Every structure is written in structure tokens, then in C-alpha cells.
Amino acid sequence: MSKTADSNLPGKVWLVGAGPGAADLLTLRAAKLLAEADVVLHDALILEEVLALASRAKRIPVGKRCGRHSTAQRFINQQLIHAARTHAVVVRLKGGDPMLFGRAQEEMDALADAGIDYEVVPGITAASAACAQLRVSLTRRGLSRSVALLTPRAGTGENPSQALRANADVPTLALYMASHESMAIAHELLTCGRAPETPVAIIENASLPSSRESLTTLSGLAARPVSELLGTDGPPEGAVLVMLGEVFREALAQRNNQIAPLSGHASNAA
């Protein structure tokens, strides 16, 4: 429902989690809002099957991709504010969960400063989808009672190595947006005393039929780039999650013994 820019009733912005990729992993609330939306500002890597749910909306791509042209965050904030002043239902569709490495706080702050009402709709994050695909629990009694979710992406003045070193001893680590820095991260963890034989699981496009998996060790991750471990000809095109910890020991052993991979997913062991 379009409105005039000087309306006394500004629209509302919904920060919606699109989940890990598969359309049927959207929440019911997310699907309902997409169907009602007038405008959808969406991340890169959101499937057309998901975007098609916003059948009546104007769709605006505002994705960020490493090494490619990306939309500046301040411009995204301005677009959200403008959309809310001219439309009733605005959806900001983010991959995974908006509150995990999605810069949601910056968008919420901008909306609050502009007097725009907003609400957050959680989504399934990549780590949950990846461990479900592998059939490995990120936590396990007697083996892993804690999990750290980390990313090497850092803002101005931040040192990503500091966060990595501070969490190097956490039993299970899930590293988001880390494929390009994976070898350096592995070396850093080895320097921090993490065992070279620590199991590592790498998942691209978790939850999708195009998903690729590779299981290796920390020393293996330090020696080979993620693209080689996944068996791709070039840099991975999809979202990649790197996870490590003893919870993946059995999965690594099974792959090394050439147990058949999960149905519908490519698999490599290195």
C-alpha cells in the first residue's frame, strides 16, 4: 500500500531472517510478511523461490558480497527510512538470522533515530542448518558444553584476531564469512595451541541441494584453501561456514572410511 511522503502514519520496517537458504525453512511469520510487503530490500544469495513469496512487492537488492561491488550500509539505512515513509509494509530480508553478523543494530539505530517503527523476525542461522545437515550436534554432553560464533569480518578499529584468540579454547567454533581467511585462521588457532588433528567441517550452501561438504583437520585447513577442500574450480559462490571441534570427530572418521554421503549433497573428505 503506497503512501504519500508526508503521511502522518509512517510505515513499519520488518527485519526478517531468510534462514540458511531453503525456502521451506522460512518461519511462518517471515512468509506472511513477504506476502504482505510493499517493498523488500534483500541481501545477496536470497533464492528466487524465497523472493517470489513477495509477489506484490518492489524488490531492491542491497546485498554485500566479499570482493564484489556492495551497497554501502549508510545507503541501505537511507533506503529503509525512505521506503517506510512512502509504504506501509517494508521488509528488510537478511540471510540467516538478522541478529547474527547481519549489521541489524546499525539499521535498527538508524530507524529509531528517524522515528520509524520496526520489528525483528528471527531466522534459522547457518550454523544450525549446517549441523543439522551433517547430523552432528554443536553441543554434546561430556564433549562440548559451549559454542562460539565468530567472523573475521571487522569494522573500523576492530581486531578480528583478538576475538579469535579469546575464543580459541571454546570446544566448538562456528566461523561465518571465513572462507577467504580460512588458512590464516587455522594457523592462528594452531599458534594458540589448538591441536592439529582437531576435526573441521566446511559447508557451502547449507540446506540447499547445491550444498557441498568437506571434513578435514585443522592442519588440513591450514594447508589448503576452502575452494580446494570443497572441490570447486574457483572461490565458492555460496555462503560458506567453517566449523571445528571434537563434536565432528565421528563424522570425519566416517567420511575417511568412505561412508556414503548424505542424500542430495556433494561431499569431500581431506
Looking at residue 157, what is its pLDDT?
Answer: 67
Q: Does some domain include residue 6?
A: no
Query: Active-site residue among 38, 43, 94, 97?
Result: 43
pLDDT recorded at residue 6: 45
| Domain shared by 221 and 92, yes or no | no
Judgement on whether residues 190 and 224 belong to the same structural domain of the protein: yes
**Can you give the pTM of this predicted structure?**
0.87
Tell me how many domains the chain contains. 2
d(Cα 35, Cα 155) in Å, to the nearest integer? 34
Residue 146 and residue 238 share a domain: yes
Q: Which residues of the chain have pLDDT under 50?
A: 2, 4-7, 259-264
Domain with residue 75: its CATH number is 3.40.1010.10
Q: Which of 12, 32, 58, 64 is catalytic?
A: 64
For 188, list phi and psi in degrees, rounded to 5: -65, -45
* CATH of residue 187: 3.30.950.10
Active-site residue flag, 169: no
Please give the grid coordinates belonging to residue 103: 549489521
Which of 121, 152, 185 corresponds to the end of one domain?
121
Distance separating alpha carbons of residues 53 and 34, to the nearest angstrom: 6
In a domain, 110, yes or no: yes
Q: What pLDDT shows up at residue 237? A: 86
Residues 117 and 81 in one domain: yes
Q: Do 157 and 99 sit in the same domain of this protein?
A: no
Q: Are residues 104 and 140 in the same domain?
A: no
| 95, β-bridge pairs | none
- 175 and 232 both lie in a single domain: yes
84 and 158 assigned to the same domain = no
Does residue 195 share a domain with residue 136?
A: yes
| 4 within domain boundaries | no
**CA-to-CA distance for 248 and 216, rounded, in angstroms?**
10
Q: Name the residue range of residue 216's domain.
A: 126-269
Same domain, 212 and 134: yes
Residue that terminates a domain, selected from 87, 121, 155: 121
Tell me, yes or no, whether 7 lies in a domain: no
Asked if 64 is an active-site residue, the reply is yes
